[in-house]
Structure 1
Amino acid sequence: MEKDITKEKSIHSALVFPLLVFLGFVIYITIYLLKQPSQWYGFSKYIPGEEITDVIILDLVPFVATILCIFIAMLVTPVFILFAKVLKGGKYQVAVQNYYKKFTGGEILNRAFFASLFAISLSLFLNNTLYDLSIEFIEGAESAYSAAALSVVFAPIAVIFMFPAWFLEDCGIVFFRKTNYDECQITSMKKDIKESVGAQFDLEVEKMTQPYDITSVGTFYGYLLRGFASITTPIFYIYNFIADIGLNRFEPISIVLMLMPFFLTGMFMLPIWLYLKTYDWLKRHLLSNKKLKLLEVKMSLHER
């Protein structure tokens, strides 16, 4: 019981603290821009209005869109499953391993941080591309200003890519390889499974002993997305700094851009909180609408 309370507190801390940091950052930037309008560049020449209009658009629209995009992410989850089948080829089938998912504060922070890295990586890539094409995302702004603004704009896109991977991992959706090995005996049967979330599913069960190749679909996508963010973000950062130093235009905003992964982490906390609150319902919806087999894995004691 004490462990559950401790985990609950760690989850609340993981959600609240980064969110407060992000909101503090937004408030500071907003006050700074409104007090010094001469320092602010128009968000877009296509949007009418003064500085306050630009600030509201930059602060609120991506934040609200990030929350709404969680529902879009859940809708595209079946597409991720289908695409995974294509990538793995005909030797693999998709099934579900039934287990109760327990979330931790560290896992939440880790996921949010890599989602922010993914958004920043996309923003730096697009910012550099626009710069090479002589297109200004924010009119008259230094490169770092545009990159920081774009990282906020790309947060909803990061949700659409990252959340389905997390959801598939949390639901236990896996690949398993078809094999002719004698040690791997596969049988099928019908069985009602009553989940801890209170739902009852009529799934076809695959009983396997000594499975040789089982991979989480969500983990498979997670490695791809994390690899992309972990590799490309430092490269684009270095490229930006070399360009700024070479042009003798290093600005304080460049330091802010370096810290954006930590600031932006808090932007994902409300979508993650909403995901945690709706996880049981989302899981029931996915398993009741997909023709997935339940994979029961039996291992000997020495294999564990």
Structure 2
Amino acid sequence: EEVSQVRGCESWSLVSEDGQDFVTGLLTVDPDQRYGLLQCSEHVWLREVAANTCAMPVSTAPALKTGTVRGDNVGVVDTIIGRAAGGVHSLEMQLRDGTVHAHGTEGGAVPTTFSLEADELIVGVMQDFSLTELLGSALVFYTSKGRIMAVQGTEARTRRRFVAPGGRQISGLQFDGHQLVGIHLEKVTSESVGAIEQISGRVGTAVDICEFKLRDGTVCTYGDSGGDIVRGPWKLQREEWIFVVEQFFRDRKLGASLAFYTTAGRVYKLSGMTAVRSPRFAAPFGEQVCDLCFENGRLVKVLTCSCRGFSAGPCKEHVIEI
């Protein structure tokens, strides 16, 4: 009853549409529809305010092995600029040689700009393709400096993402209830041996069980019993390790899906029946992403070049299978 008595005023009319949506979401009576911590932290209004009030420090961690050859990295992408509203309207990838790869159409009220360091490579890409008339609701880039660069609209689905910093690999997961809240890291040894030997799981409507078998014989099991469908096992190569993990969050089990990006250019997915198919790409060892190709808004191909830049060899075209 108290909330139902709240009325707008002159000051309220000065708040932006995104700001009003944020407050309304917090005041929603139905607890299932009310904004929680995750929805608040990813709301476009908070992202816009943060972009206008603070500058995040650039990571100085050494690069991941993905796309790395003994520190001789030459990043070809200088700047990423995206414009989004409900979804992603446009994307620009500005290269260091002056070339500009532009995708999408005009529009999008919220610009997002990311600057890459000279030796920083784009080593992974993901698209949330929930809006077919645009470039999806989100485009996410993972870099060799352990950074996540997300161009997201308000219609983007709730996902949790973690990327290993330079010289580290993901060897375990941390859940708080149904939500992925952290990762366990290990140092990559001089022999470049991956910690995880095998990934498997069981799924139903969501992800019931995720299991890692480590090379030292340890088995790490996450989730509870259940799931009629067995996924995997997927055996990782000796010099292959996980550097990105994503969760499509649902308030049950281990979420609707878990995806793992590896240094062998593979993406392993545990997907329940409530998950959606999303284009994902991990750059193979020694390569970096230099352009994207879309068809009717969907990410269908990725172009890569050597981690030493364009002068080290021709570009390669990779078709994305989802």
TM-score normalised by the chain length of structure 1: 0.23
Quick one: higher RCO (CA 8 Å, sep 6+), 1 or 2? Answer: 1
Higher helix fraction: Structure 1 or Structure 2?
A: 1
Higher strand fraction: Structure 1 or Structure 2?
A: 2
Tell me which structure has the larger Cα radius of gyration: 1
TM-score normalised by the chain length of structure 2: 0.22
